[in-house]
DNA sequence: TCTTTATGGTGAG
DNA sequence: TCACCCTAAAGAT
């Protein structure tokens, strides 16, 4: 389940469990045997996340991990099962063991390489990025905003779920050119994504629906639900939670997005301002 | 036991 | 635009 919130959560949990301690590092599967042997027994100084990248610092040796689509960490406190045939990496200290399976990247790099990787990424809402940085990246993209949000050089850490949810919550059609968005729409996207990612990091699951909207007491309750956490992602053919219009799915940026035809109109709606200057209009949300 | 699915990204054509 | 890589877990048989 790796979007940025998952990666930052892993960094936090692993920092708490392993940082400042000597750690046992092995590669049960063998595909990271040489790297594991180099790190085994050494002190893990710190764990950091940026976007979807993880960096484990052992002095000037840095373990770089990217989970990709199917990669995951399984963490055990106390008794742990034997690693499976797919366990690329095992990190252990005291009572805690973390198994890594299916990562897209698991490699040793030096500090310069880390700098290059981070330099190629846009602002990370959970990593000190700013709304101004995001706005500057969006302003120079002619691609659809739905594609731009998946581009890690525009904003780091957003994946297919946060993209669909943020565009829905801000009432923005995914096909609209990024640079044509109004400043308030860009601001809405950044703030919505940042807030949702902070919540996701805390809950360990993406929740965007307002609890009161579905009669729930808290986001924690929604996190346990499979049906009520999200507004748009993978809900094609179902009625919009806000207006009951049937949600529609198509491809944007080589991945499937789902959106509401009514809440996310192709062009921002405008209406005449009653008490403003003659001919003045203001934007209104689809819903 | 088999099949399906996934929140990502790259490289070839 | 497509094929392809990585693996666990849920669902189907």
**Dihedral sign, Cα of residue A141, residue A8, residue A194, residue A196:** positive
Alpha-carbon gap, residue A163 to A146, rounded angstroms: 7
Q: CA at A67, C1' at C9: how many angstroms apart?
A: 17
Contact, A119 CB vs strand C, < 7 Å: no
Q: Which CATH number covers residue A11?
A: 3.20.190.10
Q: Which nucleotides of B are covered by protein (CB under 7 A)?
A: 6-10
Domain-located, residue A125: no
At A168-204, the pLDDT tens digits run: 999 999 999 999 999 999 999 999 999 999 999 999 9
Alpha-carbon gap, residue A188 to A169, rounded angstroms: 9
**Is the pLDDT at A234 greater than 50, yes or no?**
yes
**Is the pLDDT at A287 greater than 50, yes or no?**
no
CB A153 within 8 A of CB A120: yes
Nucleotide with the nearest C1' to A3 CA:
B7
CB A108 within 8 A of CB A63: yes
Domain-located, residue A124: no
Domain-located, residue A257: yes
At A131-144, the pLDDT tens digits run: 999 999 999 999 99
**Percent of chain A residues topping a pLDDT of 70:** 93
Phi and psi at residue A152, in whole multiples of 5°? -70, -10
Q: Which CATH number covers residue A250?
A: 1.10.8.50
Domain range for A106 is 4-119
**Is the pLDDT at A268 greater than 90, yes or no?**
no
Let me know whether A151 and A266 are in one domain: yes
Last residue of a domain, one of A65, A92, A119: A119
At residue A270, the pLDDT reads 60
Alpha-carbon gap, residue A34 to A25, rounded angstroms: 11
Domain-located, residue A126: no
Indicate which residues of A carry an active-site annotation: 2-3, 52, 255
**Dihedral sign, Cα of residue A3, residue A5, residue A10, residue A11:** positive
Last residue of a domain, one of A119, A146, A175: A119
At residue A37, the pLDDT reads 97
Instruction: Tell me which residue has tokens 């930052």.
Output: A8
Let me know whether A23 and A83 are in one domain: yes
Domain-located, residue A89: yes
Nucleotide with the nearest C1' to A67 CA:
B8
Alpha-carbon gap, residue A214 to A52, rounded angstroms: 31
Taking C1' of C7 and every protein CA, the nearest residue is A102
Let me know whether A222 and A243 are in one domain: yes
Residue A274 pLDDT level (bands cut at 50, 70, 90): low
Q: How many domains does chain A have?
A: 2
At residue A267, the pLDDT reads 84
Taking C1' of B7 and every protein CA, the nearest residue is A1
Last residue of a domain, one of A119, A148, A183: A119
Alpha-carbon gap, residue A190 to A158, rounded angstroms: 11
Residue A225 pLDDT level (bands cut at 50, 70, 90): confident
At A77-132, the pLDDT tens digits run: 998 999 999 999 999 999 999 999 999 999 999 999 999 999 999 999 999 999 99
């Amino acid at each position: 389940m790796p979007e940025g919130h998952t990666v930052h959560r892993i960094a936090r949990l692993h920092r708490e469990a392993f940082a400042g301690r000597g750690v046992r590092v092995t590669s049960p599967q063998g595909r990271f045997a040489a790297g594991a042997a180099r790190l085994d027994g050494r002190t893990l100084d710190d764990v950091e996340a940026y976007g979807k990248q993880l960096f484990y610092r052992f002095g000037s040796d840095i373990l770089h991990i990217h989970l990709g689509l199917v990669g995951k960490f399984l963490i055990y406190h106390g008794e742990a099962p034997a690693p499976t045939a797919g366990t690329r990496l095992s990190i252990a200290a005291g009572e805690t063991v973390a198994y890594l399976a299916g990562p897209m990247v698991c490699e040793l790099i030096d500090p310069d390489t880390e700098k290059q990787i981070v330099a190629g990424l846009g602002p990370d809402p959970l990593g000190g990025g700013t709304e101004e940085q995001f706005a500057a990246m969006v302003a120079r993209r002619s691609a659809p905003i739905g594609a731009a949000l998946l581009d890690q050089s525009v904003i780091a850490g957003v994946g297919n779920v946060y993209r669909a949810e943020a565009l829905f919550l801000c009432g923005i059609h995914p096909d609209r050119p990024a640079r044509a968005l109004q400043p308030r729409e860009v601001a809405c996207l950044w703030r919505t994504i940042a807030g949702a990612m902070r919540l996701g990091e805390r809950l360990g699951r993406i929740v965007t629906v307002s609890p009161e909207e579905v009669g729930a007491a808290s986001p924690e309750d929604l996190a346990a639900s499979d049906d009520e956490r999200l507004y748009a992602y993978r809900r094609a053919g179902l009625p919009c939670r806000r207006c009951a219009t049937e949600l529609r799915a198509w491809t944007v940026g080589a991945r499937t997005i789902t959106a509401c035809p009514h809440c996310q109109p192709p062009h921002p709606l405008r209406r005449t301002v009653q008490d403003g200057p003659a001919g003045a209009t203001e934007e209104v949300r689809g819903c």
